[in-house]
Amino acid sequence: MKRFLLGLCAIILFVFWWGFVQSTNHWNHKLTLYIDTPLGEVVASSVINIKYGSALKWAGAMDGPDFTVTGEATVADLGEGRFVFALLTGSPDGLQGLAREAYRDKYDAYRDQARNWDFTKWIRILTFQREERTVPAHAYPMIVTFDDIKDPASVREVKAEGFAASFGEGYALKRMTLQVTDEAVKFGDVENLLTWLPSIKGKIKPTDKRHAADILPEERLYTNDFIRISK
């Protein structure tokens, strides 16, 4: 009986511990775009959840960090039927890398002080941040627009520095910010505009190009670059 009670206590403690680890291994961050237009500034944001999964050391080595993204692209309405989408992909190290770069001073401070590097501990530090930070340009996600919002094949990339070239004089992406937040993930903006999205089974803009060097960034896009819903 004593062994049974000790075993039961161990299981309960493990469940509580695992629940704590799981709850601190994810964060919500708000990505916000600030865009100049001839009619004034446009501000658009979306909240995205990122969950980091790690195997227990005794469970065996893992190939690398496992990140799950839930949320949708940030949509900015520029007027006259023109929209830009800051996608869930395109950042050099993914959205988790985007958060790292936004809070780079915190990341570097932990990395320099930690005797034993532990990525999970960095994630826990990140979850307590609340200050809105400017995202460095090198960490921006991919940005796209549609020449015809009803035509998937009209998608094209918009360079962060090329808003005037894409939309005309007076348009500019001023900055992009990120803030770890308690706000909930919400859906609707993307599918309300891209009503055809659920019907796409392959690439958004199929191509017959055979050489990788010839394929444009927008010809590599799938629906999960715009929206991801965890099941």
pLDDT in tens, 92-112: 888 888 899 999 999 988 888
> 3 in a domain, yes or no?
no
CB 160 within 8 A of CB 173: yes
pLDDT of the residue at 63: 44
> 200 in a domain, yes or no?
yes
pLDDT in tens, 27-77: 999 999 999 999 999 999 999 999 987 544 433 443 445 788 999 999 999
Report in angstroms the alpha-carbon separations of 128 from 1, 93, 123, 125, 181: 43, 21, 9, 6, 9
- Mark 155-180 as b/e (b = at least 16 C-beta within 10 Å): bebbebeebeebbeeebbbeebbbbb
Please give the tally of structural domains in the chain.
1
> 33 in a domain, yes or no?
yes
pLDDT average, residue stretch 158-179:
97
pLDDT of the residue at 222: 96
> 14 in a domain, yes or no?
no
Distance CA 106, CA 129 (A): 9
> 157 in a domain, yes or no?
yes
pLDDT of the residue at 17: 39
CA triple 194-195-198, angle to 5 deg: 100
> 206 in a domain, yes or no?
yes
Structure tokens at 159: 């360079």
Give the pLDDT band of residue 6 (cuts 50, 70, 90): low
**Within 13 Å of residue 95, how many CA atoms lie on the same side as its CB?**
31
pLDDT of the residue at 32: 98
> 227 in a domain, yes or no?
no
User: CA nearest 71: which of 183, 221, 217, 146?
Assistant: 183
Domain interval for residue 61: 28-222
pLDDT of the residue at 2: 56
